[in-house]
Amino acid sequence: LNGSGLGCFDFDNCFDDGVLKPAVRDFIADIAYPIVYVERSVSGNGLHVFVEAEKQRGFRRDGVEFYTWGRFIRMTLDSFKL
């Protein structure tokens, strides 16, 4: 991500037996930015939620990371429907 108008929420360990955890689903529902694309991460047990967002400071807390610049996200193209 290079500050080009995209951001990514990166969720780790967000599935239980293949089902998205309710807390993660609620977090995603509360994302204020327009969601562009959602995919499973490389591990298969995480999600990348790409959003429209201007360059800003990122964060990492409680199993969620958010970045708009200065990070590489390895895309899988394994899309996930919310």
| Per-residue pLDDT reduced to its tens digit, 6-62 | 999 999 999 999 999 999 999 999 999 999 999 999 999 999 999 999 999 999 998
- 3-state SS, 22-37, equals HHHHHHHHCCCCCEEE
Q: Is this prediction's pTM over 0.75?
A: yes
Query: What's residue 2's pLDDT?
Result: 75
| Separation of alpha carbons 3 and 56, rounded Å | 8
Question: pLDDT-based confidence at 66, cuts 50/70/90?
Answer: very high
Please state the separation of Cα 5 from the chain's center in Å: 15
Tell me what the mean pLDDT of segment 55-79 comes to. 92
Write the DSSP symbol of residue 25.
Answer: H
SS3 28: helix
